[in-house]
Chains A and B, each alone.
Chain A
Amino acid sequence: MVRRIIVGAHYGLKDWLAQRITAIVMTIYTLLWLTIAVYHGGVDYALWQMLFANEAFRVATALFWLALLWHAWIGVRDILMDYARPTSLRLTLEVLTVVTLVAYAGWLIDILWGASR
């Protein structure tokens, strides 16, 4: 057991927990898609149209992607903390990761609710 000095830091517990909760959200969405695909007998364009015409499914998809992007951030940050040295390199890569993930979030919102739909 590591004896830690309590100074108010949360020692990554929040991130650890978020990683687990987002994993469970993604698992549920994956199983939902699998069930739908099996029930429909495969995936085709008509199924995509039918599913995403439903606002609830779009919200579920947005939740999945929120979980995915958050999960990806924690995972990539963990990898960078272990291997990206020196600190300046790590900070640069972390900023690039955040910018990319935020851009992906924007891209997804555009796909789901953008003017092109």
Chain B
Amino acid sequence: MPALERPVTKPRPVYLNLVRIRLPLPGIVSFLHRISGAALFLIGLPLLLAGVQASLASQDAYDRFVAAVSTPLAKIVLIGLIWAYLHHFCAGIRFLLLDIHRGIELSPARQSSVVVLAASLILTVIVGVRLW
């Protein structure tokens, strides 16, 4: 094929196949950032609003809300959401640092991915133990 007729754009995937994709560590942090964000939007937001409403309505409503989220099943959901918030928080701070070109090289970027994964899990355990 003559050089001029070669396609200008490389063939790129038109969508991201979640089953076939293999991610490096920073990619996993990034993907979990998405998962946690989606969970916070779908479950966290309405639950948080309901909680704020109950906490401000009356002592009775506050006690009922605390009782409702104190069942074992609710606590598991709550710990899941707390992890989602903490991971989203830690990974978000990492992204903000990358934006201002901190830790942008491969090795520090990998290290900070491990820090984000570990920090959010450790903080979840600390909050989880207190909650349970």
Contacts A75-B41, A108-B49, A111-B49 given; does A52 touch B56 at CB 8 Å:
yes
Interface residues on B, range: 20 to 34
Q: Is the CB of B52 within 8 A of A76?
A: no
Interface residues in A63-117 (C-beta closer than 8 Å to B): 68, 72, 75-76, 79, 82-83, 85, 104, 107-108, 111, 116-117
Contacts A27-B93, A76-B38, A83-B16 given; does A48 touch B56 at CB 8 Å:
yes
Query: When each residue 27-63 of chain B gets 1 if its CB lies under 8 Å from chain A and 0 otherwise, what string results?
Result: 0000000100110110001100100110111010011
CB distance from B41 to the nearest CB of A (A): 5
Q: Is the CB of A20 within 8 A of B41?
A: no
Q: Does B96 contact A (CB under 8 A)?
A: yes
Query: When each residue 46-73 of chain A gets 1 if its CB lies under 8 Å from chain B and 0 otherwise, what string results?
Result: 0011001000000001000000100010
Q: Is the CB of B41 within 8 A of A111?
A: no
Q: Is the CB of A104 within 8 A of B93?
A: no
Total contacting residues, chain A, CB less than 8 A:
24
Q: List, in ascending order, chain B residues with CB within 8 A of A116's CB.
A: 57
Q: List, in ascending order, chain B residues with CB within 8 A of A108's CB.
A: 49, 52
Instruction: Name B's A-contacting residues (CB within 8 A).
Output: 15-16, 34, 37-38, 40-41, 45-46, 49, 52-53, 55-57, 59, 62-63, 89, 92-93, 96, 99
Instruction: Name A's B-contacting residues (CB within 8 A).
Output: 20, 23-24, 27, 30, 45, 48-49, 52, 61, 68, 72, 75-76, 79, 82-83, 85, 104, 107-108, 111, 116-117
